[in-house]
Amino acid sequence: MGSEKTKQLNHLAIIMDGNGRWAQARNLPRSEGHRAGADNVLEIVKSCRKFNIKYLTLYAFSTENWKRPAAEVNALMLLLGEFIDKKLKFMQQENIRFNAIGRLSGLPESAGKKLLYAMEQTRNNSGNVLTLALNYGGRPEIADAARKIAMAVKNGTLDVESIDEAAFGRFLYDPELPDPDLVIRTSGELRLSNFLLWQMAYSELYVTDVLWPDFKEKELQSALQAFAGRDRRFGGVNKA
Ligand code: IPE
Ligand code: IPE
Ligand code: MG
């Protein structure tokens, strides 16, 4: 089936899992798996452009990933900085807006600075939106939103009676980010691992055993085909 026939998908989110297993299978250090994983990001960004998917959100580092050995965390943060250094020019050329969600102030200074610079430089780009979830957790995001809401009520800028789902959504890390239509997890684990808990209420889920560094356009196409065959009811009943 050609891409033109696949159901339109506005926001794709991916839990990029399996870098460690990819490295282990090759007797390489885990950091080499992360490097291969980082190298795969642009390939999927390009495929999303080809398939007309405007928003791509990638889970790159969770609030729980700090539990890993310091050397692995450092390698991941260095890769993030490197990715920005190397790909910013491409983002500019292709009119891609570079975006991030998470507790960004908790990132190491160097990576955090590069990230904010790239976001600032691409903020007026009107094409695709690439969002990296960094130092991100779904529960921390909801807790952070609750705190901001409480502050707004305390300051008198928000009326308690006006707090509904839409109002709550405006206090998330990126209120402009639409809910994902499809969430892909690579490497076979059947769990959400604290990703986009609020936004995923009605997302379609797709899990593949393929490890993230091996997840190429062909695998993405399989996921899009599966999505195209889904019956999204949102709690209602579809007409026959
Ligand atoms: C995903 O790969 C990347 C991050 C979580 C940063 P993993 O490092 O979790 O790979 P596995 O799950 O150990 O194979
Ligand atoms: C989820 O993967 C986080 C990212 C992909 C960044 P993990 O490998 O950290 O998740 P668990 O530990 O298997 O749940
Ligand atoms: Mg993992």
pLDDT average, residue stretch 140-144: 98
What is the spatial distance between Cα 13 and Cα 24, in angstroms, rounded to a whole number?
26
Q: Which ligand lies nearest to the CA atom of residue 215 in the structure?
A: 1
Residue 205 has φ and ψ, to the nearest 5°, of -110, 145
Q: What is the mean pLDDT of residues 144-170?
A: 98
32 against 1, higher pLDDT = 32
For the chain, give the percent of residues with pLDDT over 70.
97
Q: Which of the residues are catalytic? A: 17, 65
Residues with CB under 5 A from ligand 3 (ion): 17
Our mutation pick for probing the ligand 2 site, out of 65, 131, 215, counting the most ligand atoms within 8 A of Cβ, is 65
Predicted local distance difference test score (pLDDT) of residue 240: 63
What pLDDT score was predicted for residue 8?
79
Residues lining ligand 1, Cβ inside 6 A: 16-21, 61, 65, 76, 187
What average pLDDT score do residues 227-235 get? 96
Q: Whose CA is nearest to atom 1 of ligand 2?
A: 193
Nearest to 220 by CA among 234, 206, 239: 206
- The answer on pLDDT for 163 being more than 70 is yes
Helical residues (DSSP H) of 101-216, grouped into ranges? 109-121, 138-155, 165-169
Residue nearest to atom 14 of ligand 2 (CA): 193
Tell which wins on pLDDT, 4 or 38.
Answer: 38
Q: What is the pLDDT of residue 155?
A: 98
Distance CA 56, CA 48 (A): 7
pLDDT, position 4: 42
* CA 17 to ligand 2 centroid distance, Å: 6
The answer to whether the Cα torsion of 89, 93, 94, 99 is positive or negative is positive
What is the number of the ligand closest to the CA of 193? Answer: 2
How do residues 85-121 score in pLDDT, each as one tens digit?
A: 999 999 999 999 999 999 999 999 999 999 999 999 9
Q: How confident is the model at residue 239 (pLDDT cuts 50, 70, 90)?
A: confident
Q: Report which protein residue has its CA nearest ligand 1's atom 12.
A: 18
C-alpha 104 to ligand 1 mean position (Å): 20
User: pLDDT digit string (tens) for 55-66?
Assistant: 999 999 999 999
Average pLDDT over residues 177-184: 98
Tell me the CA–centroid distance for residue 239 and ligand 2, in Å.
38
Gap from CA of 154 to ligand 2 centroid (Å): 36
Count of helices and strands (H, E) across the chain: 7, 6
pLDDT of 14:
99
Q: Provide long-range contacts, Cβ within 8 A and 24+ apart, for 143-147.
A: 144/103, 144/171, 144/173, 145/171, 145/172, 145/198, 146/171
